[in-house]
Amino acid sequence: MDVKDYRFTREHEWLRPEPDNLGTMGITDYAQSQLGDIVYLELPAVGTQVTQSAKMGEIEAVKAVTEFYSPASGRVTETNQTAVASPNLVNEDPFGKGWLVRLELSQPSELDALMNYDQYRQFVAREV
């Protein structure tokens, strides 16, 4: 799936919708570039119920520690343990190998409230 098919939050998280009400999420390239070198990830446990826009975990970078938020409500089905072991993957490939969490979406209609790729690009352009 192309990044143009992803959905985006105002806090710079992305969600890639997948069949069967599943989704994979992470932070955007813009977010990782603002953070700098990422050195630690705190991800939610598998089975955790999350709510759209609620805190899901933390990302520690050389510059700062920041929270990240769930782009949709659901249950955590998988966390990227490869990225936990090598957090720099989020810097190197934020839309691919640097994904953070996979979710089983409980309210797929929430994705309608997220930005599409073009809307997100315009949003970031206004922030810069």
Domains and CATH numbers, the chain: 22-127 (2.40.50.100)
Locate 65 and state its tokens.
């520690």
What digits encode the pLDDT tens for the residues 14-29? 999 999 999 999 999 9
What digits encode the pLDDT tens for the residues 89-125? 999 999 999 999 999 999 999 999 999 999 999 999 9
In this predicted structure, what is the pLDDT of residue 126?
A: 94
Q: Mean pLDDT for the chain? A: 96
Query: Can you tell me the distance from the alpha carbon of 58 to that of 31, in angstroms, rounded to the nearest whole number?
Result: 13
What digits encode the pLDDT tens for the residues 36-67? 999 999 999 999 999 999 999 999 999 899 99
3-state helix, strand, coil in the chain (%, to 5): 30, 35, 35
